[in-house]
Structures are given as C-alpha cells and as structure tokens.
Structure 1
Amino acid sequence: MDTVPGASSFSGKVAVITGAASGIGLALALEAARRGMDVALGDIGEEGLAKAKEAVEALGVRAVAIRTDVSKLVDVQALHDGAALALGDPWLVINNAGITKLALTWDHTEADWKRMFDINVGGVINGLLAFLPGLRARGEGHIVNTASAAGLLTIPAASAYVASKHAVVGLSETLYRELIASRSGVGASVLCPALVKTNILGAAAPAGGKASEINSPHALEPEEVARQVFEAVAAKRFWILTHRAHMEPYIRARAEQMVTETNPNAASVDPDVSKTSSLATGVDFTTWPDA
C-alpha cells in the first residue's frame, strides 16, 4: 500500500501510537496507515479511540484500539501486549500522549505538577519500559518521543509543561546516544513542534482566560507535522523541528544568552506564544520591562 513517497520503508510494519484519538496522534496514525503500516492506537478517550480506529482501517490496514492511561505502566504494557498479539511485533513506537496547562507558576497546584509529569514524562518512560526491550532484542525499529518547542525554549505561564518537555528532550537525546553507541539497530527521534492546530489548549487556560493554538500564522496542520515525522524517521534523523525556520532565531538567541550569561529577554521567546500566554493569564508578556 505505497500511497505516499517513501512508503515502502514502512509498509507491512507495525506502529504503536499513544494519544492517538485526536490531534497530532491521530494524524500520525493516519500517516502510518497511508504508508502501509498496521497501527495500534492507545488513548484514554474510548469514544475518540473507536473513531480513530475506523479512520485508520478505512485506509486498508489493520488496526487495534486499546484504552491506555500512559501514566500507568500496566496500561502501556497492555498496549504492547495487545499490539503484538493482534498485529505482530512493533517496529515504530511513538510516545505522543501529552497535556498542557497555561497558568502562572504560583497558580500551579501540586496536582497540576504531578499530572503534567505523570503523563508528559511518565508516559514516555513507560513507553520505553514496555517497548524498548523488544526493539533492542530484535535489533531494529524506531522510537519517537513527542516533546515540544517548549523543550527547547520557554513559554510564559506554562512552567510545568516547559519543565516536562525539557525533560523529554534531555531523556530522548541521552537515549539516542546510548542506542547509537551500543549499535543497537534501534533509532530514536524527538519531535519538537511549535504551534499546531489541535485542541490541546481547549481546557488549558485558567478561568477567565482565553487561549488558542491557532493564534499564529505559523501554526501547522497536524497532517503536516505527521508527514515531517515520517520523513525524519525514514532519514534516521533525531531532531524533528517542524517549525525550524520560525524557531531558529529564538533558539539561537537563547543559546547565545546562555553562553554569554545574559539574562533571558524577549529575543529568546516566540512572540506568538507570548501573545497566547497573555490572553490566557491577563499578564502582558508581549512587552519586556527592564530587568
């Protein structure tokens, strides 16, 4: 089922994707199917999961949908076992499930911090615990961990999210180095998108605040993100920066501020993100006062 360029390298293999019921996860599942992969879909939302399974199967491949709370290793292990039983050994594992919340640091509760790390970081860790032993034993396959531009930059009013995504980036790069040095045959990538047209911020703003992920001319459709992910996996590329041209000046500014020990300022923050954070909290992040 080679319906897109480069599909032959994926055709007949098995992909497992978490957070697959909507947004980037669903787009990844559909892109996998277009490239001839059978797909195991994990998500906590059962209704969306059932619809996603139907959409994937409509593309002519096999699919299995398994309710998965990625913060629980037992659930992710069940996803592994269910995928292997129904479809065969996984070749591509995309640890994609994630949440966010826009709130000032002092307005984050203990529960906010715990939930953010349990899902955004714990979900990746549990994916590695469940799937990495088999990939290494078979000596092939690829892992993609979904981080964010917030793993490379900072977002005002999203400290828990930023911290969790920085953790995913650091974990993923360390894993990549270990897999390459040990000649494991298993590849790894980290996905760092900026604004994407999904509903992840639908309930992320605090009471009275407003936020939208599409308040930017640079926002991408999930399908474009998915296409870039599969191109990167085919090329065995670690970094997947879907908004590279847009993010580059802010990443370079942040790196320069680090090595020169210059205090953070407006040059190292995406102004589109600052606008969204301002709308969500009522604090003006779009103008930078003298520190």
Structure 2
Amino acid sequence: MQALEGRIAFITGGASGIGFGMARAFLRHGMKVIVADIRQEHLDMVAAALDRSNGDYHLIRLDVTDRAAMERAADEAERVFGKVHVLCNNAGVASTVPMDEASFADWDFVMNINLGGVINGTTSFLPRIKAHREGGHVVNTSSIGGILPLPGPGGIYTASKFAVRGLTESLRMALAPHGIGVSLLCPGLVRTNLAETTEHLDPSGKRRELSPFKDIESPLDFGMDPLDIGERVVAGIIHNEAYILPHGEFKDEVREAFAEIVEAFPADQAVDPKRAAVEAGRRQATIEAKKAAAGIR
C-alpha cells in the first residue's frame, strides 16, 4: 500500500509505547488514526500531546479481550472516518510468572490479550476492509520473543508471541487474493511502559521481576524510540514487508537459532515417495501464496 495519505489506521494499544509511535508516524504521513487503548489516562495523555485542531485522529477506550466492544469500536471507526485501511493489532502485556509456576489465570491473562486481541481485531475488521475493496494492510505486533524463546518469566509471553507470528505468516498468504498486505512486527527493546501496564492490568496482583537481566534496573530505558519503530512500520506497509525487524542486534542469534533447527533433521533418511509427493504439493502451494502476497502494492 504505497499511498498512505488520507488512509485510515486503527491501532490497539495505541495510546502509549509502540502504538503511540505508530500513531505519530502515521499522522506525519498524512493518515487518519483511531487510537484505541484500555487505559483512559493514556488516552488523556494522547489528547494532550496531539493537536486536536486537524481532526485527523479519534480516541476510543477499548478492552481488546471484549469481542462485543471490538465490534462497537469498528462501528465507531467507520462512523467517524468512513472506513479503515490499516489495522494494527498492537495491544500486549508481558509475563509476570514463570510458566512452570503459572495458574490458568496467569496463562489466560497473557494469552487473552496478546493472542486473543489479535484474533478479535482481525475477525472484527477484516470483513470490513475486504468489503470496501480499496486494499489495506494488517500489522500484528509480535516480538523478537516470538522468534527467540525467552527464559524464566518470559515463557508465557513467548508462547503468545510465537502464536501471533504463526497467525500472521498464514494470514499474509490468506489475504493476498484480496489485495491486502500483512506484516509481522518483531521489535526488541523499546522505550515503553510495558512492565507498568502489565502490573496495572494483571488481576492476580503479582509483582514479579519482568526482566531476566538482573544487572539492569530497567532494560526498557535502553530501548529504541517508539517513533522510530513507527517509522519502520510505515516503511513496512509501503513496501509490503512480511517481517518488520527494527533491531539488527538479533540477526546473528536468529541465524543460529534456525541453524540449530535445520541441524536437528535426520542427516540420511529414506522418505516415503507418496508422503514426499504430498509435501511437495503443499510446498509449491505455499511458494505460490507467498509470491502472490509479496506482489501486493
């Protein structure tokens, strides 16, 4: 989607951190933006930070786990701006409990927001984007933790972000026939209030160390500027990038991780020809679907 001016974006978790970075970047590029967020105080800060005179943005208080509320938000977005072209499923929380100690409630808290929010946004908005036939783009926020597993308290977060990655990679192929691009955003450290938001929303009341880096008081303080992430997302949409990977420091580690997977396959194995034929057909269908997705402009 190379022409962004005048297009409308809907961003969950849009009132702080990466979401607000996207919102500011989109506005810079002439888009209209719906900022959706569960925390009223963050929406109030957005209202104070942005100039209301241009009328190019709209604020909605939204719990992404509430499917009825997501539908109402989609209705409101269309009432205000007519339609939505870009959907950014960005709302997320971190893990606060090691996965081997986690309760069902701990799992539900993270999965319902990080994965459920993406599912709910996708299900509510995609029929509307497909219906207006003007093209569009979906950006799902995963994490470098959706490519490289995190230890300790990060396990539940990793599970949710790996799921978002798989969903997004398949969705990119599924939407190619409709002229809708899809990108997976996998950031590393970004200057956000993820830890504070997680603690604010976590119904368990548990306050555990969110970072495995015990020698650093606040690792997020060393993170990338959210506005820089927003500009990378703009570029990713314009160029229809399958993966938006802003943090170059992970390149070698990701290469090593995938090399480990490849090395785990049998070195010398006779494969049943019929099974091989089935997989060859699946592989060719995937190749064709990826080519179609890459061709969207």
TM-score of the alignment, normalized to the shorter chain, above 0.5: yes
Quickly say closer, same or farther: Cα 1:73–1:39, change in 2 above 3 A.
same
- Given the alignment, which residue of 103, 106, 112 partners 2:106? 112
Query: Which one is further off, 99-108 or 158-167?
Result: 99-108
Q: How many angstroms does 1:32 deviate by? A: 1.2
- Is it true that 1:232 corresponds to 2:236 in the alignment? yes
Q: Which structure's residues are more often helix, by fraction?
A: 2
* TM-score of the two chains, using structure 1 as the length reference: 0.80
Structure 1, unpaired ranges of 5+: 1-5, 263-291
Deviation string 1:43-86 (CA, Å, 9 cap, x unpaired) is 11012113213434458342221111001111111111111101
Distance in 2, Cα, partners of 1:203 & 1:131? 25
Question: RCO greater where, 1 or 2, for CA within 8 Å and sep 6 or more?
Answer: 2
Q: Is the 8 A contact 2:5 2:30 kept in 1?
A: yes
Q: Is the 8 A contact 2:191 2:220 kept in 1?
A: no
- Is it true that 1:19 corresponds to 2:22 in the alignment? no
Q: Is the 8 A contact 1:41 1:63 kept in 2?
A: yes
Q: Is the 8 A contact 1:172 1:188 kept in 2?
A: yes
Distance in 2, Cα, partners of 1:24 & 1:67? 17
- Given the alignment, which residue of 253, 256, 264 partners 2:256? 253
Query: Which one is further off, 228-237 or 195-204?
Result: 195-204
Q: How many angstroms does 1:207 deviate by? A: 4.3
3-state SS in 2 of match to 1:201 = helix
* TM-score of the two chains, using structure 2 as the length reference: 0.79
Quickly say closer, same or farther: Cα 1:77–1:56, change in 2 above 3 A.
farther
Q: Which has the larger radius of gyration?
A: 2
Distance in 2, Cα, partners of 1:119 & 1:134? 22
Quickly say closer, same or farther: Cα 1:80–1:210, change in 2 above 3 A.
closer
Taking only the aligned residue pairs, the percentage that are identical comes to 33
Quickly say closer, same or farther: Cα 1:27–1:213, change in 2 above 3 A.
farther
Distance in 2, Cα, partners of 1:99 & 1:207? 13
- Given the alignment, which residue of 157, 182, 187 partners 1:188? 182
- Is it true that 1:147 corresponds to 2:142 in the alignment? yes
State the superposition RMSD in angstroms. 2.3
Match of 2:92 in 1: 98
Query: Which one is further off, 25-34 or 45-54?
Result: 45-54
Deviation string 1:161-217 (CA, Å, 9 cap, x unpaired) is 00000000000000001112xx21111111000111111123668646474695379
